Amino acid sequence: MDLQSSPQFFNQAEMSQLLSNVERFLADVVPKISTDHLFYEDKEDPTSLKQIQQMGEHDEWFAMLFNDGPFCRVAEELLEGPVVPKFMQCFNKPPGGSATPPHQDGFYFMLNPCEAVTTWLALEDADEENGCVRYVPGSHLRPMREHGRTKTLGFSQGIVDYPTPDDLSKEVAMQAAPGDLVVLHAKTIHRADANRSTVRTRKAMGFIYYSEGKRRGSCGLSGESSARNEVTRKAIAATAKTLEQSSNRSRLSLQADPL
């Protein structure tokens, strides 16, 4: 299956249905849920909502999408077996919204071995002006980097020595259109700049899946086994030409480099 040559992961009709449910969730559900699952740029400004956590816990439609939808199937294929749906998020980078610090999702997950994927669906155009995702190809093949506390609400940990000269030489901006799907290995270094636009938002959704049976434990700061597992190899092999084809709005972009 060539995951690089198909059109957008979600077509126009699917995106219309999804966006309608996002708007319904914002209007009807957000006012009723715990603030523990909501993050704002400015707590006094309800229009500055930047992140919603665990939408599936509060809404049946999103629970079905998360637990038995196409993102789960993608994760199962890449992780070569059953997966555990863990986190579902909605991101909104409002005009002037703050930057997302460089980090590796696996540092938060603390899995051993670190076998998990984040699937990131663009809800609207994401480009360098409004803060598209930027990532470091091949970073998932190296040990987990040291993280420390940040001052960014919703992203409490960031890589302390970023960027190194090697990071700067390799970092790539992943621009996306509505319906495009980006899949990140849990150890891929990524970040996003602030939204420099004064009028445009940058909305996206994240669906995170763990390989079934993986235990929380050491996240590999001292280095993981040099024998890279076949799960990672498959994800890498499927994405050897991602960068070359990114302008074609491929169906699935797996952010990894070939071995």
Instruction: Give the pLDDT confidence of 115-147 residue by residue, as tens digits.
Output: 999 999 999 999 999 999 999 999 999 999 999
pLDDT at site 84: 96
Give pLDDT tens digits for 72-130. Answer: 999 999 998 999 999 999 999 999 999 999 999 999 999 989 999 999 999 999 999 99
pLDDT at site 215: 56
What are the CA-CA distances from residue 183 to residues 20, 79, 121, 190 (Å)? 24, 12, 9, 12
d(CA 55, CA 117): 18
Residue 144 near residue 114 (C-beta atoms within 8 A):
yes
CATH H-level, domain 12-254: superfamily: q2cbj1_9rhob like domain (2.60.120.620)
R_g of the chain computed on alpha carbons: 17
pTM: 0.80
pLDDT at site 24: 98
H-state helical runs in the chain: 12-24, 60-68, 70-79, 105-109, 165-170, 230-237, 242-245
pLDDT at site 42: 84
Give every residue of the chain whose pLDDT is below 70, as ranges: 1-7, 214-259
| Burial annotation 129-157 (CB, 10 A radius, 16+ → b, else e) | ebbbbbbbbbbbbeebbebeebebebbeb
